[in-house]
Amino acid sequence: MKEELDFLNTYILLQKVRLGDCLAIDNRIDDKYWDVPIPPLTLQLLIENVIKHNVISISKPMKVCLTTEMLNNEIWLSVSNPIKLKQGVISSGKGLMNLSQRYKLLCNRELIIENDEDKFIINLLYE
């Protein structure tokens, strides 16, 4: 996880060159979980998904939260963001479908995707 977080921080710095300070990551992952592995590039792919589908600007900044939480007596990584959909962007669903397939192949688990009118959340079980 630590390596993925480091990679994500580098990716966010690159995105801030393009978007300015409109994109923020609120990392609330307890450092005791940093040694737990997750599939490579998972966090970057989830942030790419946020950028692709949401309006992000000075007047509409985006804050993505990374947390750990207990669900069904298991520890899950949660990546969530408010929904501010871009007009005219058609979602193929391939990005999340590919991540879901890779996660299932590597971890033998399903992603939990929550999508309501206000918030989009992806939950991944920690190994």
pLDDT digits (tens, 9 = 90+) for 3-55: 999 999 999 999 999 888 999 999 999 888 888 888 899 999 999 999 999 99
The helix or strand, by DSSP H or E, that contains position 76, with its residue range, turns out to be strand 74-82
Q: Which tokens belong to 95? A: 């990005």
CA 70, 36, 101, 66 dihedral sign is: positive
Does residue 127 surpass a pLDDT of 70? no
87, β-bridge pairs: none
Q: Which tokens belong to 11? A: 């990716």
- Domains of the chain in sequence order: 2-125 (3.30.565.10)
pLDDT at position 71 = 72
In this prediction, residues 63-77 reach a mean pLDDT of 87
Q: Which SS3 state, helix, strand or coil, does residue 116 take?
A: coil
In this prediction, residues 94-120 reach a mean pLDDT of 90
